[in-house]
Amino acid sequence: MANLFQSVRGFNDVLPPDTAIWQHLHRVANETFAAYGYGEIRLPLLEHTALFSRSIGEVTDIVEKEMFTFLDREGDSLTLRPEGTACCVRAGLEHGLLHNQQQRLWYAGPMFRHERPQAGRYRQFHQLGAEAYGMVGPDIDLEVIALSARLLARLGLRDLTLELNSLGSSEARAAYRSALIDFLQRHESSLDADSKRRMHSNPLRVLDSKSPQTQEILRDAPKLIDALDLESRLHFEQLQQGLSDLGLPFRLNSRLVRGLDYYGRTVFEWTTTALGAQGTVCAGGRYDGLVTQLGGSATPAVGWACGIERLILLMKAQGVAVPDTAPHVYLCWLGDAAQREAARLGEQLRDAHPGLRLVVNAGGGKLAAQLKRADRSGARVALILGDTEIAARTIQVKSLRDTDTSPASIPEQQILPWSELSGYVAGLFDA
């Protein structure tokens, strides 16, 4: 019979055992953020639409085409959050976290954009993000980049490239914007349709065009780095020196811009060649004007976000090992008395060995069927308890995994007295 319901296009289920890699990633991220003194902030999924149109920019693809927006029963326009930074600033202003203060924050959770679903990019996707407020120098730019580098390394990812650029001050960007529009107008007939549309409303986004023909034209375009003001140039040079001091290699990319209007000065991306066209795995930069834009006092800010689905795709592509989450032990039982004893014994072992993963068979079944369940669970050993074992106060132990992957001290099958079971499980658990 056909399924009555399926998930909405672009909204995906995450099933076991895939959730194991998600849990591992969140655990590593939590530890890495804590190592730098970043505190977690949890943000709502819904925000007022004006928050994003004011912060991201009215003429960006996100606001123009991709937001999930609707009117609620009171007639207010609400939007499922398409990104986290604007939400983070809104929360900081609302709760008095930003004025004359330094804040280091991080968040994780689902975001929503009505894009064409493809590998690593869905309409509900998940992000990790780091945000630092109240620090104006390149030292905090360096810190957030170092934080991202450590997270990616701890996840076991390799062969990544750090790309770096500076968008300069708003005044420098305004002057460059005029020069770029003049250049693009001279080549308008050869530009792709998107670039023609963006040429006047958001010309810096043309630099990020995916059209090979447009990119060929842009080879001769004026470079933003040549238009930087002195202060932005010094900031950028000090950041590059700091990266060199930390041994973090980088590549200057004069065409690197961000898709959101609020960025200025430092922008960066971590990229890979292992995922085809989906090459960016983490991206961010400075947005010193965003807090003012949303009604607060001038507050320097810098941060980044990375897509969790994209990170997991890359971890799988590079064969990154993930901690095993299969049960250590599967406890089989035969008979009513053994069922009761198995439940009690399972709780005793879990009490004695925190972290032990133990499954007690449920739903009955012959021993052969229970052992098949035990094998399918991925457990390393099965414990077998029946009336005979209860009478003798013993338990059968059966190894389920290949002997070359099992601890050397575990024979394929043996009988243990109950008094030795806890010590045996401890040895299995620590092996």
Q: What CATH number is attached to the domain comprising 352?
A: 3.40.50.800
Asked if 238 and 132 sit in the same domain, the reply is: yes
Q: Specify whether the CB–CB gap between 337 and 390 falls below 8 A.
A: yes
Asked if residue 10 is part of any domain, the answer here is no
Residue 197 is predicted with a pLDDT of 83
Tell me the pLDDT band of 407, cut-offs 50, 70 and 90: very low
Q: Which tokens go with 424?
A: 């045996």
Nearest to 149 by CA among 165, 134, 135, 164: 164
Residue 262 is predicted with a pLDDT of 74
The C-alpha atoms of residue 71 and residue 198 are separated, in whole angstroms, by 28
- The end-to-end CA distance of the chain, in Å, is 46
Asked if residue 187 is part of any domain, the answer here is no
Residue 116 is predicted with a pLDDT of 84
Asked if 259 and 344 sit in the same domain, the reply is: no
Residue 311 is predicted with a pLDDT of 95
User: What is the number of other CB atoms lying within 10 angstroms of the CB of residue 188?
Assistant: 10
Asked if 348 and 278 sit in the same domain, the reply is: no
- Picking from 317, 350, 383, the residue at the C-terminal end of a domain is 317
174-183, 192-201, 252-261, 360-369: range with lowest mean pLDDT: 252-261
Asked if 80 and 110 sit in the same domain, the reply is: yes
- Picking from 317, 343, 358, the residue at the C-terminal end of a domain is 317
Residue 408 is predicted with a pLDDT of 45
pLDDT in tens, 282-334: 999 999 989 999 999 999 999 999 999 999 999 999 999 888 889 999 999 99
Reported pTM: 0.88
DSSP for 220-267 reads: TSPPGGGG--HHHHHHHHHHHHHHHHTT---EE-TT---SSTT--SEE
Asked if residue 212 is part of any domain, the answer here is no
Asked if 41 and 161 sit in the same domain, the reply is: yes
User: What is the residue range of 391's domain?
Assistant: 329-430
- State mean pLDDT over 72-77: 95
Asked if residue 193 is part of any domain, the answer here is no
Nearest to 295 by CA among 122, 92, 144, 125: 92
Residue 261 is predicted with a pLDDT of 65
CATH number of the domain within which 40 lies: 3.30.930.10
Find the DSSP H helices in 286-407: 290-293, 308-317, 336-352, 367-377, 387-392
Q: Specify whether the CB–CB gap between 404 and 378 falls below 8 A.
A: no
- State mean pLDDT over 90-95: 97
Asked if residue 211 is part of any domain, the answer here is no
pLDDT in tens, 350-379: 999 999 999 999 999 999 999 999 999 999
Q: Is the pLDDT of residue 400 over 80?
A: yes
Asked if 302 and 350 sit in the same domain, the reply is: no
pLDDT in tens, 211-248: 888 888 888 888 888 888 999 999 999 999 999 999 99
What number of CA atoms fall less than 13 Å from residue 317's CA on the CB side?
Answer: 18
Asked if 298 and 339 sit in the same domain, the reply is: no
Q: Report the domain count for the chain.
A: 2
Asked if 288 and 370 sit in the same domain, the reply is: no
Asked if 122 and 253 sit in the same domain, the reply is: yes
What number of CA atoms fall less than 13 Å from residue 136's CA on the CB side?
Answer: 7
pLDDT in tens, 136-151: 999 999 999 999 999 9
- Write phi, then psi, for 278 (nearest 5 degrees): -85, 70
* Radius of gyration in angstroms for the set of CA atoms belonging to the chain, rounded to a whole number: 28
Q: Write the CB contacts of 163 (distance below 8 Å, at least 6 apart in sequence).
A: 250, 251, 252, 253, 256, 268, 269, 270, 271
User: What is the number of other CB atoms lying within 10 angstroms of the CB of residue 347?
Assistant: 12
Asked if 417 and 290 sit in the same domain, the reply is: no
Average pLDDT over the chain, rounded to whole?
90
User: Helix (H, G, I), strand (E, B), or coil: what is residue 16?
Assistant: coil
- Picking from 295, 317, 339, the residue at the C-terminal end of a domain is 317
Residue burial 153-173, b: 16+ Cβ < 10 Å; e: rest: eebebeebebbbbbbbbeebb
Asked if 256 and 366 sit in the same domain, the reply is: no
The C-alpha atoms of residue 181 and residue 185 are separated, in whole angstroms, by 6
Residue burial 354-374, b: 16+ Cβ < 10 Å; e: rest: eebbbbbbeeeeebeebbebb
pLDDT in tens, 39-50: 999 999 999 999
Asked if 41 and 115 sit in the same domain, the reply is: yes
